[in-house]
A and B are shown apart, each in its own frame.
Chain A
Amino acid sequence: MSKSPAGSARRPRPAPSSKTNTGSRRSTAPTPAQGTRFRTRHPVLTALIPVGLVVAAIATMVVIKATGRSSPPAAASSHLAGTATGATTGTATADTGTTTLSPQVLDALSVPTTTLDAVGSPSSVALPTKVGNGNGAVAEGADGKPLITYIGAEYCPYCAAERWALAVALSRFGTFQNLHGTHSSDTDQYPGTQTLSFYGSTYDSPYVDFQAVEEATNQPDGDTYQPLQTPTAAQSALAAKYDAQGSIPFLDIANRYVITGSSFSPQVLQGLSRSQIAADLADSDSAVAQAIDGAANDITAAIASVTGNQPSSVGSSATIAAIAQKLGA
């Protein structure tokens, strides 16, 4: 913009072309000088524009979350790059049987409390077994939190079933990252049971430590399956102590409760995709929710018994308290 010697800004005149004339003699578009004047006279309004964009973006995210529509997939991360938390002796075997878990499935693992309370503890679901009189020392992880140990394998259909319940339960105490989808063996019982894998995942919680070992993939290797991870000496000793038959899945809840085998039959998951299973988790009347959410409630009550009923969203639940009584906690 040019300025006259007199000091006033001269507004450039529009070209006198009639072809581009819109009919108005004076342009209604703000000139740079008008924009500057607006900014100067209304600084708060000016500032509200970018701030409003930030607030609008946040509001959009809240609405998307509230309406249940999922976010775009997280940035791809290789499950081969990491090892399951605590399982420090994983082999370098490539796990070709897993896929990225969809955000919808991940979100579904955080089952609404109302649904979990409605499901309760169905009698068709096996309860965790109390170790001794239940007053033994609580097993602790490296940072002093109660330690939960899972040993399973991706080919195993019973592990496939139990992982859903364990993931739902642990989602009440912490957060998973890098969970992947997989399925049980196509040639074993309950073939192709859709599930998730703890291999390569991480779990963070202020209340508990979680160590997961997936001993093998679902890829056949001769008479067996490709090895994936090897339990540590401590984990092997734990399994030998409480799971003499060596069955999987094996779940130890801080040496207070153990589960050997799955808490419910994988039959309930047959023919269902991961998305269908995930969707059914929120429907308390579905057979899937009765099995998975029911088992998750039992596991949750067992875990809460070693966390001092923390967090309070779990400890204050009448449903969990009732199950804890059944467990003799």
Chain B
Amino acid sequence: MATHTASGQTTAHRPPAWVPVTSLGLSLVALAVASYLTVTHYADPAALACPDTGIVNCALVTTSSWSVVLGVPLAVLGLVWGAVMTGLTLPWSWRRPARWVDGTRLVLSGAGAAMVLYLVYVELFRIGAICLWCTAMHVTAVILFGVILAGRAASSAPLPART
């Protein structure tokens, strides 16, 4: 959707077509990875399909004290986050003009990126091991944050009037 301002400028409300597609794809990846981590958390953490080379040890990370926040497993938090982000990156959501949708999407993706920083710190300096599945989740979250920022930058700023 595009509207014309009184000044003659055109304000675009839709991001480029690649933004909804990419963001939805990334959200689904995050949702899938978080689902797998959640299932294995409750089933058998040691059964995670993950190489064990010392520094890489998924089970060590996912069973550590840091894998639970206020009694809630991080895998479950990731699952909830992935589900909400999937909802917020559906084409329908991108088409909605409501500002709160745009704001929530940005805040949650930013919170995801901030959480990544904390979790990488914990993995490197507190646990001393890296979980590849968690890393996949981290990479996805950071890229998703970038895509949403790009979409917001492209859609929220006024475009020069066409002559």
Interface, chain A (partner B; CB < 8 A): 3, 7-9, 36-37, 39-40, 43-44, 46-48, 50-51, 54-55, 57-58, 61-62, 65, 70-71, 74, 103, 107, 110, 113, 171, 174-175, 177, 202, 204-207, 310-313
Contact of B128 with A57 in the complex, beta carbons under 8 Å: no
Given known A-B contacts A54-B113, A312-B52, A61 and B46 have beta carbons under 8 A apart: no
From A54, A61, A110, A202, B128 is in contact (CB under 8 Å) with A110
A-B contact pairs, 17 of them (CB 8 A): A7-B7, A9-B7, A37-B157, A39-B153, A43-B149, A43-B153, A43-B154, A46-B150, A46-B153, A47-B146, A47-B148, A47-B149, A58-B117, A61-B125, A175-B65, A204-B64, A313-B54
Give the distance in Å from the alpha carbon of A310 to the alpha carbon of B157 in the complex: 56
- Closest beta carbon of chain B to A211's beta carbon, Å: 16
A48 to B143, CA, bound (A): 9
10 tightest A-B CB contacts, nearest first: A47-B150, A7-B8, A47-B149, A43-B154, A51-B146, A206-B59, A43-B153, A7-B7, A71-B125, A43-B150
| In contact, B128 and A175 (Cβ under 8 angstroms) | yes
Interface residue from B54, B65, B116 paired with A113 (Cβ < 8 Å) = B54
- Most chain B CB atoms below 10 A, which of A54, A58, A103: A54
Q: Which residues of B contact A202 (CB under 8 A)?
A: 65
Q: Is the interface of A mostly helix, strand, loop or mixed?
A: helix
Q: How far is the CA of A203 from the CA of B150 in the complex (A)?
A: 43
Residues of A within 8 A of B158 (CB): 36, 40
Q: Give Cα A119–Cα B29 distance, bound, in whole angstroms.
A: 44
Report B5 CB to chain A, min CB distance, Å.
8
Q: How far is the CA of A8 from the CA of B125 in the complex (A)?
A: 54
Distance in angstroms between the alpha carbons of A318 and B2 in the assembled complex: 68
Q: Knowing that A43-B154, A61-B124, A71-B125 are A-B contacts, what are 14 other residue pairs whose CB atoms are under 8 Å apart, sorted by A's residue number?
A: A36-B157, A37-B157, A37-B160, A43-B151, A43-B153, A44-B150, A46-B149, A47-B148, A51-B149, A61-B125, A174-B60, A175-B64, A204-B64, A311-B59
Chain A CB within 10 Å, residue with most, of B6, B15, B63: B63
Q: Knowing A43-B150, A311-B52, A313-B52, say if A207 contacts B46 (CB, 8 Å).
A: yes
Q: List A contacts of B128 (CB < 8 A).
A: 107, 110, 171, 175
Given contacts A46-B149, A206-B60, contact A55 B125 (CB under 8 A): no
Shortest distance from the beta carbon of B138 to any chain A beta carbon, whole Å: 8
